[in-house]
Amino acid sequence: MNIKGIEIIKEIQNIKAYTAFKFDGIDSIEFKVFDDYDYQIIKTNKTYVVYYRLQRDIYAALGYILSHKNHKDYDIKRSRKLKSLGYMIDCARNAVPTIDTLKRQVVNLSLMGYTYIGLYLEDLFELDDQEEFGYMRGRYTTSQISDLITFSKRFDIKVIPYIQTLAHLNAIFKHAKYNAVLDTADILLVDEPKTYELIEKMLVTAQSMFHTNEINIGMDEAWQLGLGKYLNRNGYQNRMDIMLNHLDKVLDICKKNNIKASMWADMFFHLKGGAYFSKGVTSFDDIKDMIPSDVELIYWDYYHTDQKDYDDKFASLKTLTSNYGFAGGAWKWVGFAPFNGFSEKASIPAIEACKKANVDHFVVTSWGDNGAEASMFSILPSLLFISQSFYEDDLTDENKFLYGLTGYSKNQWMSLDLLNQIYPSKEIKTVNPSKYLLFEDLLLGDSRIKLHKDYEKSYQDIKDIIEPLTTIDSPYVYIFNTLYDLSFILSIKSTLSIKLYELYHKKDKEGLLDLATIDLSETIDLIKQFYKDFNYQWHYENKPYGFEVQSYRFGGLIQRLEDIKIKVLDYVKGNISSIEELDHRILNLADEDDPFLGCIYYNQFIKYVTFGTF
């Protein structure tokens, strides 16, 4: 293949190394600078001419060319009005991606048309003289970030730090050293001089480490702001005043160091109306003059599916500032499986509202709530869908693009959503039974979890759908292996509570013997296999830190099932006269007319396993 007009040999080598794209069938590509569109591609037989505006448009054009090689000759022109389109990965909830993993994602993002990757860090970057900051959490070193930045520049992708300067710093408060700057929970102590010394050190370090003046300063979800040590020192104060006072101090530090700050907008809504997602339009005319115009307020929302909710929030935001952006979400925070379907469902109205509100900056967040179990790459369909939705056309064949990029079509990727769609309609809804049914205790149950006998058949069908996908030659086959294992486990375990309860109360000891020696034994073996594959997935993508949580969870799950097996066998043999937990258990079954068969969104492991203190 002959490349004319630019020198991108190393970039093409990286595309070949990190993706499944093939360059066969392309004789030559000539690149020319042009200002009228983001990019224009003229295909004649096996030769291409690409006109591009910015360096990053080269790679977006390449992504299109590589995924549409078999199309007949064409002349396309593509543009979008966004100034920046970013992807932010949560590195702070145990799963800390390796630099090589981030490089792979940078290549993916560049081919989709993204302009930056954001790293949500909290304490996960090294600070001078702060050994406890990010200790044993997998913090990034200056050299690691420098390596990532050097690589990303080749693809014209910025690397932007997302830190916290008010809340979500619970990890540092495990160290007594930071007691002086603790208000309560995970919140920094406002008006404490040491707080601002720490914040300035974080900001200046991030600025230097990332070679950027663009920093997201966080400040979201500080629900207990001013209600701890601050309250003891100052008595109850207007919490909006506390927020604005703190923001002024932090922005003074930013201004002093020439830092261009963005922050999450939710606390203003929370302190004004008591709820971030309250309906209707909220007016901030009374405090608008107190919000500096040089901080960008980011409205985040990845829940709503009605455009009016987004329109109203933008209308509210415009009474607060004229400097705003938007953060949507690619759902990878519901457990081991992604929720690409809902990511798309929520993104459609969000993107339309953003276009209507003339949003210049859009970022896709992918959080890691409660353990960050899902693969970063499991939400590639969502990232592609969102990026292509901003073009003024619908030219991209997402099935072909994802097949070329990963070796799996979009339809095959979307099959991973099925692990949480174990109800007949398959309606797109935010539920995560594939996580809570895995850990649900067979003797105790959980008052929040409802069960249904049809789960077993649903997971058997899902297992059969995913199994052939585990034989595909793809750099991402390990993700399908992991979720195949999970579907196999749940094809047995998802209804074991019901079977165990019914057999016990029927006094069917023969059935209980089979359940213990066959069903429980097989479940334990399958969990061990799942743990092995999940262990591989984690360490292939992430640093080792944080996996200890999974070791404890799965070690505990396996031991608990072993204990239950022993207890059931003791009952069958007559060594014990009853199983006390089952004598008292209330079996919580889903209503037969429930279209979702009891499935809910419930993502807190600590609540699954006991009614006692964990």
Reported as a single tens digit per residue, the pLDDT across 322-359 is: 999 999 999 999 999 999 999 999 999 999 999 999 99
Give exposure, 399-418, as e/b (b: 16+ Cβ within 10 Å): bbbbbbbbbbbbebbbbbbb
Write the DSSP string, 292-326.
-TTSEEEEE-SS---HHHHHHHHHHHHTT-S-EEE
**589 near 598, Cβ under 8 Å?**
yes
Tell me which of 3.40.50.10860, 3.30.160.230, 3.65.10.10, 3.60.15.10 is the CATH number of domain 2-78: 3.30.160.230
Write the DSSP string, 183-200.
EETTEE-TT-HHHHHHHH
Q: Give the C-alpha separation, 448 to 435, whole Å.
A: 14
Reported as a single tens digit per residue, the pLDDT across 149-171 is: 999 999 999 999 999 999 999 99
For 537-541, which contacts have Cβ atoms below 8 Å and span 24 or more sequence positions? Answer: 537/375, 537/478, 537/479, 537/481, 537/482, 538/95, 540/101, 540/478, 541/95, 541/97, 541/98, 541/101, 541/375, 541/376, 541/377
Q: Give the C-alpha separation, 5 to 3, whole Å.
A: 7
Model pTM score: 0.97
**527 near 482, Cβ under 8 Å?**
no
Q: Output DSSP code: residue 121.
A: -
Q: In whole angstroms, what separates CA 255 from the centre of its chain? A: 31
Pairing of the two strands 187-188 and 182-184: antiparallel
Name the token pair of 110.
Answer: 């560049």
Q: Give the C-alpha separation, 320 to 360, whole Å.
A: 17
Instruction: Of 109, 84, 117, 118, give the one whose Cα is nearest residue 15.
Output: 109
Residue in the block written with tokens 């994602």: 105
Does the fold of domain 429-609 match that of domain 84-407?
A: no
* Beta pairing partners, 260: 214
Reported as a single tens digit per residue, the pLDDT across 494-529 is: 999 999 999 999 999 999 999 999 999 999 999 999
Which positions of the chain have pLDDT values less than 70?
A: none
Phi first, then psi: give them for residue 487, nearest 5 degrees: -65, -35
Residue in the block written with tokens 């070329």: 404
Question: Can you give the residue ranges of every domain in the chain?
Answer: 2-78, 84-407, 429-609
End-to-end CA distance of the chain: 61
- The pLDDT, as a whole number, for residue 520 is 99
Kindly report the three-state secondary structure assignment for every residue of 46-84.
CEEEEEECCHHHHHHHHHHHHHCCCCCCEEEEECCCCCE
421: Cβ contacts below 8 Å, ≥ 6 apart: 427, 428, 429, 431
Give exposure, 181-219, as e/b (b: 16+ Cβ within 10 Å): bbbbbbbbbbbbeebbebbbbbbbbbbebbebebbbbbb
Write the DSSP string, 222-266.
-TTTTSSHHHHHH-S--HHHHHHHHHHHHHHHHHHTT-EEEEE-H
Reported as a single tens digit per residue, the pLDDT across 240-276 is: 999 999 999 999 999 999 999 999 999 999 999 888 9
Q: 84-407: CATH homologous superfamily? A: Glycosidases (3.20.20.80)
Phi first, then psi: give them for residue 15, nearest 5 degrees: -60, -40
Q: Give the C-alpha separation, 474 to 600, whole Å.
A: 33
Q: Distances in Å between the alpha carbon of 462 and those of 159, 308, 327, 486?
A: 38, 35, 32, 10
**59 near 335, Cβ under 8 Å?**
no
Sequence letter at residue 370: N
- The pLDDT, as a whole number, for residue 273 is 86
Q: Give the C-alpha separation, 560 to 439, whole Å.
A: 10
- The pLDDT, as a whole number, for residue 614 is 81
Name the token pair of 548.
Answer: 């200890």
467: Cβ contacts below 8 Å, ≥ 6 apart: 484
- The pLDDT, as a whole number, for residue 517 is 98
Q: Distances in Å between the alpha carbon of 457 and those of 159, 193, 464?
A: 45, 60, 11
Three-state DSSP at 160 gives strand
Residue in the block written with tokens 């379907």: 341
Where does 429-609 sit in CATH, by number? 1.20.120.670
- The pLDDT, as a whole number, for residue 274 is 84
Three-state DSSP at 37 gives coil
Instruction: Of 457, 210, 475, 438, give the one whose Cα is nearest residue 336.
Output: 438
